[in-house]
Amino acid sequence: MSSLAVITARGGSKRIPKKNIKEFCGKPILCYSIQAALESGCFEEVMVSTDSEEIRRIALGAGAKVPFLRSEQTSNDYATTAQVLEEVLGEYEKRGRNFDAVCCIYPTAPFVTAAKLQNAMGKLQETGADTVSPVVRFSYPPQRGFVVENGYTVMKWPENRTARSQDLEPMYHDCGQFYCLKVESFREQHQIFMKKMVSIELPESEVQDIDTMEDWKIAELKYRLMQEGMHEQCH
């Protein structure tokens, strides 16, 4: 199965300036995604999709390919991940290169490892899934969540008021790290979360949405904990 890794890293970032190349525990955060993809050995090519010359230089220095820059249409705030991937696959097709699978990796995902990518790509091949993506369990059951109505806080599903947490169906959410996709199915469905999706559950300690500087600091703490855990396993 011929596979391509696409790391999506545009230049614009409003809440955290230069977020995709900001230093994270000693090196640009983008480099962690590139390194994991290269070390996994799963991909014929590891490329970075960007509209920034600065990001292009850093990506090339880290060992990724940047054969073309993004178009204006996929560089704005409203372009979806699916649109970026469709553009990338189209550009490779113009160059006579086609792939059976594509793995989209976000640039601010330092918790991605070669082993996680190997696991996901293996599942993509073995299970017949269209999408394989990591998920994390909600730390508190959403079924017992609140909403604000007319100024008052009320239970969204009052029928669960007395339900025990362990009796409610476990629910999960996207980790925002990477998505392994069958290209043929993606071409038909034009979305990341396709009909036949298989997930890999990650612990909360290896997942962090990074939108603010507080998120960034929490992510660095979690990353150091993950590294310590991996180091202990080796001894």
Question: Could you tell me the fold of the domain covering 3-135+173-233?
Answer: Spore Coat Polysaccharide Biosynthesis Protein SpsA; Chain A (3.90.550)
Residue 231 pLDDT: 60
Read off the pLDDT band of 61 (50, 70, 90): very high
Identify whether the C-beta of residue 168 lies closer than 8 Å to the C-beta of residue 160. yes
Mean predicted lDDT score pLDDT of the chain:
95
pLDDT tens sequence across 81-99: 999 999 999 999 999 999 9
pLDDT tens sequence across 145-190: 999 999 999 999 999 999 998 899 999 999 999 999 999 999 999 9
> Strand 146-149 to strand 152-155: parallel, antiparallel, or no bridges (unpaired)?
antiparallel
Read off the pLDDT band of 235 (50, 70, 90): very low
CA distance 175 to 65: 25
Closest CA to 8 of 30, 28, 29: 30
Q: What is the average pLDDT across 191-214?
A: 96
Read off the pLDDT band of 14 (50, 70, 90): confident
Residue 150 identity: N
How many residues make up the chain in this entry?
A: 235
Residue 37 has pLDDT above 70, yes or no: yes
pLDDT tens sequence across 101-151: 999 999 999 999 999 999 999 999 999 999 999 999 999 999 999 999 999
Residue 232 pLDDT: 64
Residue 42 identity: C
What the block records as the tokens of 225 is: 């904990």
